[in-house]
Amino acid sequence: MDTRLPTLYVSHGSPMTALDEGATTAFWRRLGPAIDAAFGRPKAVLAISGHSLTREPVLLAAARHPTVHDFYGFPEPLYALRYDADGAPALAREVAALLRAAGLNAQLSPEGGLDHGIWTPLRSMYPDADIPVLPLAWPPNWAPEKLFALGRALAPLAKQGVLVMGTGAITHNLRLFAGGRGDPAQPEYPESAAFRGWIAQTVATADWAALNDYRRQAPHAALMHPTDEHLLPLHVAAGAAGDDAPGRRLFAEVQWGHLGMDAYAFGVGAAALESSLSQ
């Protein structure tokens, strides 16, 4: 039986999700134990967040990561939340070697810190903060196919028990909040449903060429993602699965009518994770 960990993409949504007791938080709380039950506890988490962006790939190789509250204007209790986790300096060197072997320049930084795109889901998945975390900052101006290739270079990590997790938002247009489309009880807008459905179908058929060309092929791509940084961690996660197995949507939710919170698993272990979640 192939026990390679699947790779993940989770939508982290608003920082307020960390205080929320809704469906997304409930899913995250089931996700960590489901991974452990199906594959054993990960040795480390390699996190690719839509909020850790650089001009070239940079591995944050600190021995310890503080919680970064990289937002403003939110309720005070949110700033009191902590998720301080060990880093993974040795793994950082291994990952840098993998990327360089694939022809991708990668730098190591002694700095650390977990942005809210990383600690918000991990705080629910693994609340004890007892798994080392290695953030990989990445260039948002890279084309989707290049980030998919970056993911491919990370494929050996699954056999080592390292969980590769991209985090962003399956739809992400904050302008819609200011445009009168921010009612929390608002039914999903047709544009959001069409885009999310296209992503789900494309992933389910492992049509990675179409996924990498989503700007031209996906309906309402520019509306759902005026900029790319919250979707492109999906491409890294898909590439890091290291095979052509279809991906699986593990969870689907829409908040405020347009903010998609979907989560995906990729690789040969995706089906086992889906089964573990259903038990």
What is residue 180's three-state secondary structure? coil
Q: Classify 196 in phi/psi space as left (phi over 0), alpha (psi -120 to 50) or beta.
A: alpha
Quick one: CA dihedral 249, 255, 226, 11, positive or negative? negative
Directed axis angle between helix 23-39 and helix 116-125, to 10°?
70
Query: Which residue intervals of the chain are DSSP H helices?
Result: 23-39, 76-79, 89-101, 116-125, 144-153, 175-178, 190-204, 208-212, 214-217, 221-224, 232-240, 270-278
Q: What is the mean pLDDT of residues 254-274?
A: 94
How do residues 225-250 score in pLDDT, each as one tens digit?
A: 999 999 999 999 999 998 778 999 99
Q: Binning pLDDT at 50, 70 and 90, where does residue 14 land?
A: confident
What is residue 222's three-state secondary structure? helix
pLDDT score at 253: 95
Contact (CB, 8 A) for 47 and 165: yes
Whether pLDDT at 2 is above 70: no
What is residue 213's three-state secondary structure? coil
pLDDT score at 137: 98
pLDDT score at 202: 98
The CATH number of 12-175+189-274 is 3.40.830.10
Whether pLDDT at 180 is above 60: no
Q: Binning pLDDT at 50, 70 and 90, where does residue 179 land?
A: low
How do residues 126-171 score in pLDDT, each as one tens digit?
A: 999 999 999 999 999 999 999 999 999 999 999 999 999 999 999 9
Specify the length of the chain in residues: 279
How do residues 201-226 score in pLDDT, each as one tens digit?
A: 999 999 999 999 999 999 999 999 99
Q: What is the mean pLDDT of residues 43-51?
A: 97
Average pLDDT, the chain: 94
pLDDT score at 149: 97
